[in-house]
Structure 1
Amino acid sequence: MNKHNLNEEISQELLFEVLENQATLDAVRVFLRDKKLSHSASSWKQMIEDRIEPALSSGAITRNDLIGIIREAEEHGNKHVRLFHFGTDYLDSIRGAIKLEAVSAWAKDKGFPGTGEYLFAAYPTHPVVTEVRIGDGGDTDALVVKTARTEYRRKRGVLTEVAGQEVYLAPRVRFRAVDVLKIRRDGLVEVRLSPRAEHPISYSGTANAMLKQVNGLVETTLISELSLSTAKNSFSDLQKKQEVSENFDLYEAQHRNDRGDRIQSSSQAEQGGILKSSVMTEVIKQFTVGDPEAYCEKVRVSYYFGKVKRINAILSEDINEIIFTAGLSRDEYDEVLDAIIKVNSEE
C-alpha cells in the first residue's frame, strides 16, 4: 500500500508553501517534464502561478502528486547526516527485525502510521512520526522512519523605517523540518537531521533521540558511531591525490595534532581545489609529514555527479557527521553518500 493521508483542511496555499520550503525547482521541473507538461520557471512564484496552478485546474496533476514530490524531497539534502552501524555479529538479528511483518506490528503498537502510509503533517504542534516504511530507492529492504516538526527561522533582514529610524528587520517564519532514520541490511544506520536554526542546537542529542524511537524493534544499545576519519584523511592525503580526484575536489581541509596546533587550508573552485594548489599542498605537507600526531579533522569536498553537476559535502569535526547544504534528489544523495562511504572503507 502506498497512499497519502491528506487532511482535506489543508489549503492549497499551505500546500504550495510546504512544497517551496521542502522541494527544489529542479525537482518540480523534472516532475512536470515527465508528465509532458510545461515546466520552465525561473522562480517559485512563476512555477506556482504559471505551471502548477493551471495543471491542477486542468486535472493534469493532483494535490497528491505534489505531496509525492514533498515526500521524497524532504528526505534528501539540506541535512546533517549522522552515521552509525551495527557490528557484523548482529546483522542477522537486524535483518529479521526490519522485515515487513515485524515492522508493521511494531508501528501499530506504537501508534505510528501503517507501513506504506504517509501522514502529511504540514506544521505539527509537536514532533510527529509521519511515515514508517520498508524500502528506500535501491535499498528495497531498508527501514525508514520519518518525523516532522515545526522549526522557526529568520529571513534575510529588510531595511525598514520604524519611528523615524531605519532598521533591519528579520521576520521569524515557520519551517517544516523533517528528520529521517534509515537502517540498512548491511548494518549502516543513517540519521538525517534538518538544520536547526534556534538554540539550543544539539545534533548528537537529536540523533540519539531518533535512534531511541526504534527501541522495541531493534536493540539500539548495539549501535555505534561510524568514524569518518579514514575518509577525511584520504581526501586530504597528498599521496592519494589522483585516486581521490577522480570523483572529488577538495576545497577546504582542517588539520590538527594532539599538541593543540591547528591549520585550515582552502582554495577556490576556479583554481581546481586544494590538491591542485602548490601553495596549499605545501602548507599541508609542512604540517603533516613526519608528525604522527597530525590528522585531518574536517574537509569540504565537491563530488562529480555526472559531467556537469557538483554536490558539496562537509565532513565536520564531529566523528560521524556529513553535512549536505543543498537540496538533492534521492539518486544524487545516494550516489554521493555511497562514494564517501567507499572512500572511508578503503585503507
Structure 2
Amino acid sequence: MVRVPPRAAVRATRQSVAFFHPTVDDVRTWQAPPRTVALAKPEAPVVVDRKLVDQIFELFPQITNIQVISGFLKERQLAYSAQSWETLKNERVIPALEAGRLRIDDLTAILAEAEEHGNQHVFLFQCSRQHAADILDARRVSDVAGKLGFSQAHVLSQPDVPTLSDIRMDRDGSLVVKIIERRSRDRVVRERFIGGYKVHFIQTVHERAVNVAKMHRDGILELRISSRRGNADYGKDVTVLRRQIEPLVPIGEFSEWSIGAAKHAIWQNRASLASAVRFGDSRVRNDYGTVITAAARNRETDLNEDESATNSLNAFLSSEEAWFDTSNLWWLRNEETGTPSKNIHVRLAGDVNEFCITSNCSQRDYDYVFNEIKRHNR
C-alpha cells in the first residue's frame, strides 16, 4: 500500500496532473532581456517559503553537487559562485527568489531531474501501443489520481511508509509516477572482544530511495529502482513497485522486454561506436552453462582494443547457443554536441530486461543512453 500525503503534511510544489512537469531543459529556455533594457523590479520582495527551500537544500547534497546548481544559476545570469551549500542557499538562491528572478518551481525541477535519473536499476516491460494509449488517456489519469486522493506533487525526505510523491504527464505524453520511501540497513561501526566473544556494534542507517515508473506511448514501461548498496536482488522491489502503480498502470498485459538483442548489437557494432562507447568487463555464456569473462585492465581501458580478448568473445558468440550475459559500458562524453555531458557508466546485466546506470545524471544524458539501448534492441 502506498500512502498519499495529506495536503497539510507537506508543501505542494506543482498543481494538476493534467499539466506537464517542467524539466531543467524547459527552465533553460528562458531568455534574459538585452542588457540595455532595464528589468522591472517588483515593488516588494517576493515572499519565499524558507522551510521549503531548506527542505530542498537538505536533499540536494544527497543527489547532486554545488557545481550543478551553480551552473544552473549561471545560465540564468544570476550570481552563482559559492563554496558551500549554505552560501549557495543564503547568498545566491534566496536573494534571487526574493527578487523574482528565480522560482521555487525552478528548484523543484532541478531536484526532480536529479533524483529521477541515474543511480538506478531499470527494468523494462512492454505492452501494445493501444493498451499504452488507453493507460495514457489524460482524463483517465486525472480521474485515477483523484480517486487516490492525489492533487499535487510534494517534496519529501524520508517518509515513514512509501509515499506517492508525484503523478504527472510529461511533455512527450508519457506518464511518470514517483514513490519515495525510507530504507534501513545495518552498518558495523565498531568491533570488540569481550569475555572471549567478538562483539559487533551495529548502527541502523536510514536512507532515502526514489522509485519511478515511466509509461511511454510506444508501450515501453520503465521501472526505475533506486540502487541498493552491494549485490542486491531487486525482484522484490520490482514486485512492490508494480503493485503500487497498479491503479495507474494496470500491468496484466505487460511482458518483460528483453535487452539481449541490444547487448549483442552494441558489441557487434563496436567499430562504428568506437568514439561513443568504451567497453569494460564483459561476460558471455551459452546454453550448456559455459561462461567466458573478459576483464579490462582498469576502468580507463577499452576492452575493444585488446584483439585477443575480442577474438575470444567473437569465437564464443559465433555459436547460436551463446549470448551476452553482462556488458560494462561507458557512453562517452560528446565534446561537439554536449550529450552525453559526461561519461555515463552503464551495466547491461542481471535480469533479461534490466540495466543499471551507476550514478546520478541529467535527464538529457539518461534519455540519450536509454534511446541508444532501444535503438540497438531490434
2:135 partner amino acid: A
Tell whether the 8 Å contact from 1:56 to 1:63 is kept in structure 2 after alignment.
no
* Cα shift at 1:261: 1.5
* Cα shift at 1:340: 1.2
SS of match in other structure, 1:79: strand
Moved more, 261-270 or 227-236: 261-270
Aligned residue number for residue 207 of structure 2: 175
* Cα shift at 1:324: 0.5
Give CA-to-partner distance per residue, 1:225-268, whole Å, 9 cap, x none.
1101111112333xx33233353221121011122211211223
Counterpart-to-counterpart distance in 2, 1:172 and 1:40:
37
Give CA-to-partner distance per residue, 1:179-231, whole Å, 9 cap, x none.
000101100100111013499x5422322332233434443111011101111
Aligned residue number for residue 40 of structure 2: none
* Cα shift at 1:158: 7.8
Cα 1:178–1:47 shift into 2, 3 Å: same
Q: 2:270 aligns with which of 232, 241, 254?
A: 241
Counterpart-to-counterpart distance in 1, 2:56 and 2:245:
30
Counterpart-to-counterpart distance in 2, 1:37 and 1:64:
16
Counterpart-to-counterpart distance in 1, 2:219 and 2:366:
19
Q: 2:258 aligns with which of 227, 233, 238?
A: 227
Tell whether the 8 Å contact from 1:84 to 1:189 is kept in structure 2 after alignment.
yes
Counterpart-to-counterpart distance in 1, 2:345 and 2:60:
23
* Cα shift at 1:172: 4.5
Matched, 1:335 2:368: yes
Aligned residue number for residue 192 of structure 1: 224
1:4 partner amino acid: T
* Cα shift at 1:100: 1.7
* Cα shift at 1:299: 0.3
Aligned residue number for residue 34 of structure 2: none
Counterpart-to-counterpart distance in 1, 2:78 and 2:192:
44
* Cα shift at 1:105: 0.4
Aligned residue number for residue 314 of structure 1: 347
Aligned residue number for residue 331 of structure 2: 303
Counterpart-to-counterpart distance in 1, 2:87 and 2:191:
31
Moved more, 222-231 or 23-32: 23-32
Aligned residue number for residue 127 of structure 2: 86
Counterpart-to-counterpart distance in 2, 1:22 and 1:122:
12
Give the root-mean-square deviation of aligned CA atoms: 3.2
Q: 2:140 aligns with which of 102, 125, 128?
A: 102
Aligned residue number for residue 291 of structure 2: 262
Aligned residue number for residue 85 of structure 2: 48
* Cα shift at 1:13: 5.3
Tell whether the 8 Å contact from 1:97 to 1:103 is kept in structure 2 after alignment.
yes
Q: 2:62 aligns with which of 7, 12, 21?
A: 21
Aligned residue number for residue 74 of structure 1: 115
* Cα shift at 1:96: 3.0
Counterpart-to-counterpart distance in 1, 2:260 and 2:286:
14
Matched, 1:4 2:13: yes
Cα 1:321–1:142 shift into 2, 3 Å: same
* Cα shift at 1:175: 2.1
* Cα shift at 1:131: 0.5
Task: Give the strand-richer structure, 1 or 2.
Answer: 1
Aligned residue number for residue 128 of structure 1: 163
Alignment: residue pair count: 320
Identify unmatched segments of 5+ residues in structure 2: 1-11, 16-48, 336-340
Tell whether the 8 Å contact from 2:56 to 2:111 is kept in structure 1 after alignment.
no
SS of match in other structure, 1:178: strand
Task: Give the helix-richer structure, 1 or 2.
Answer: 1
Percent of aligned pairs with the same amino acid: 26
Cα 1:205–1:9 shift into 2, 3 Å: farther
Matches within 5 A, 1:123-162: 123-135=158-170, 140-152=172-184
Tell whether the 8 Å contact from 1:40 to 1:47 is kept in structure 2 after alignment.
no
Aligned residue number for residue 8 of structure 2: none
Cα 1:152–1:65 shift into 2, 3 Å: farther
Counterpart-to-counterpart distance in 2, 1:310 and 1:68:
23
Moved more, 72-81 or 218-227: 218-227
